[in-house]
């Protein structure tokens, strides 16, 4: 049996056109490839430092 109140709470308000600008600005565009590149650079820098010492 479906609980009306519980189901209703799952419905979220739809985004309005006026909110689009804020939504776009606040988008986090970091993806897996960015994280991977960052990790690789950190690993490379860490290796270089060990090499110097």
Residue 35's SS3 state is helix
Rounded to the nearest whole angstrom, what is the least distance from the CB of residue 9 to another protein in the complex?
A: 9
Return d(Cα 20, Cα 24) in angstroms, integer. Answer: 6
Q: Tell me whether residue 11 or residue 53 sits nearer to another protein (CB atom).
A: 11
Residues 6+ apart with CB under 8 A from 23: 15
Read off the DSSP letter of residue 26. T
Q: Tell me whether residue 1 or residue 48 sits nearer to another protein (CB atom).
A: 1
Which residues form the interface with another protein (CB under 8 A)?
A: 1-2, 4, 7-8, 10-11, 13-17, 19-20, 23-24, 27, 29-34, 36-37, 40
């Amino acid at each position: 049996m479906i609980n009306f109140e519980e189901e209703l709470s799952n419905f979220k308000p739809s985004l309005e056109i006026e909110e689009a600008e804020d939504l776009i600005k606040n988008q986090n565009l970091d993806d897996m490839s960015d994280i991977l590149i960052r990790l690789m650079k950190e690993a490379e820098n860490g290796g270089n430092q060990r090499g110097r010492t």
